[in-house]
């Protein structure tokens, strides 16, 4: 892969966002720009997928597929939308397929029971006591369960809204629906979550 | 102020307020409403609890070999492509080669068209070095045949 290419590549995309400009450089054969995009979005893509499928190994595998698809599609890439919209559309599509496949294979329990890889959260500056750790795990299980039982599109919308801090318009483009549909999805999703998690305040 | 909890369209203001995304003027207006609206106050309290609960959910760090595995997969794809393209690569990669090959074909074709038809090769009869014995045998054979011809009547023909 070559180094940086023509400086005027993606002038139109630059107005859209810098990531799209980087992607246009990837299209021109600039491997360094792909590395920049990977470095910038690796974490958020893996975390989004992890919260969607709730299995770290599966999430990483899906994230690999996301970036592989980005790389494969470089030659046909056109900056018609924000790069992150395109990226998360791929990620959401893969996650929804994985959830449906897992459900059809009745292996959801196996995916859901993957708690061993969760990081131990530091409750205080000191090492958490066993009680604190168990309380934290119980809270976490409740949160995970509450998210898991949301309908898939509501789940994706909440995760993008809460953790990726996406605007309604962008979530709408990722989920391929209207902005008002996203507002409705989020309203219903948070209503469910409030009913399940409000006691945790 | 219309109560924002009445419809999902307006509830976004409450969600934005809980996420601290409202500007100060709109936040102040909403706070005034919340003070007098128990439903909205409940909504905000519940939503903040949800926000806090979701904040506790930290995702695991990405594996250190994530990039290595990804680039390995990319490299494999590239290798497969290269394998498929290898026979054609000299023609595809070197842009001058197809032009040169085409020029050669034209030149050879032109040369062949201009060239006169080839004459059949002149066959030089090989010099036979016959020995004296062979000549004598040949003359004897000829004499025997001549004598046989005298013995056989002229109208006699071989039976088929």
Domains of chain B by residue range: 4-55, 66-113
Q: Work out the pLDDT band at B120, boundaries 50, 70, 90.
A: low
| Domain extent listing, chain A | 1-117
Q: Which two tokens stand for residue A171?
A: 């979530």
- Calculate what percentage of chain B has a pLDDT beyond 70: 62
- The reported pLDDT for the residue numbered A25 is 93
Most confident range, picked from A169-173, B30-34, B97-101, B118-122: A169-173
Interface probe with B: pick from A128, A183, A189, most Cβ of B within 10 Å: A183
Q: Which of A12-21, A109-118, B28-37, B92-101 has the lowest mean pLDDT?
A: A109-118
- Interface contact flag, B11 A183, Cβ < 8 Å: yes
CA distance A26 to A10: 11
- Cβ separation of A190 and B8 shorter than 8 Å? no
Q: Which residue of A has its CA nearest to B68?
A: A64
DSSP sequence for A93-159: HHHHHHHHHHHHTT-HHHHHT--TT-----SSSSPPPHHHHHHHHHHHHHHHHHHHTS-HHHHHHHH
Position A77 pLDDT exceeds 60: yes
- A85-113 pLDDT tens trace: 999 999 999 999 999 988 877 655 555 55
Query: In sequence order, what are the beta bridge partners of A2?
Result: A30
Reported ipTM: the value is 0.78
Torsion of CA A112, A115, A117, A120, to 10 degrees: 140
Q: What is the mean pLDDT of chain B?
A: 75
- A1-117 belongs to which CATH class? mainly alpha
Chain A residues with CB under 8 Å of B62 CB are 42-43, 46, 60, 63
């Amino acid at each position: 892969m070559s180094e940086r290419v023509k400086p005027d590549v993606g002038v139109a995309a630059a107005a859209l966002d810098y990531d799209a400009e980087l992607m246009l450089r990837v299209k021109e054969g600039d491997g360094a720009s792909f590395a920049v995009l990977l470095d910038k979005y690796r974490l958020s893509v893996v975390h989004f997928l992890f919260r969607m499928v709730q299995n770290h190994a599966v999430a990483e595998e899906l994230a690999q597929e996301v970036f592989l698809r980005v790389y494969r599609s470089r030659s046909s890439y056109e900056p018609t939308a924000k790069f992150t919209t395109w990226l998360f559309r791929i990620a959401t599509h893969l996650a929804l397929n994985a959830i449906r496949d897992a459900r059809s294979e009745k292996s959801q329990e196996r995916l859901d029971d993957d708690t061993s890889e969760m990081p131990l959260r530091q409750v205080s500056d000191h090492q958490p006591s066993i009680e604190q750790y168990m309380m934290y795990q119980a809270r976490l299980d409740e949160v995970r369960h509450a998210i898991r039982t949301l309908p898939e599109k509501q789940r994706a919308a909440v995760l993008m809204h809460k953790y990726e801090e996406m605007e309604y318009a962008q979530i709408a483009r990722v989920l391929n629906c209207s902005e008002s549909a996203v507002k409705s999805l989020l309203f219903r999703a948070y209503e469910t979550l409030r009913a399940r998690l409000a006691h945790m305040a | 102020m219309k109560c924002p909890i009445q419809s999902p369209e307006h509830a976004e203001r409450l969600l934005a307020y809980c996420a601290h995304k409202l500007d100060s003027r709109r936040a102040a207006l909403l706070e005034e409403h919340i003070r007098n609206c128990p439903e909205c106050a409940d909504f905000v309290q519940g939503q903040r609890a949800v926000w806090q609960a979701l904040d506790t959910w930290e995702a695991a760090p990405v594996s250190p070999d994530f990039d290595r595995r990804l680039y390995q997969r990319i490299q494999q794809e590239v290798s497969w492509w290269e394998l498929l393209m290898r026979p054609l690569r000299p023609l595809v990669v070197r842009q001058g080669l197809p032009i040169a090959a085409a020029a050669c074909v034209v030149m050879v074709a032109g040369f062949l068209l201009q060239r006169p038809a080839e004459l059949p090769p002149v066959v030089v009869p090989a010099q036979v070095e016959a020995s004296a014995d062979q000549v004598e045998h040949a003359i004897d054979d000829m004499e025997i045949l001549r004598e046989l011809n005298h013995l056989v009547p002229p109208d006699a023909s071989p039976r088929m």
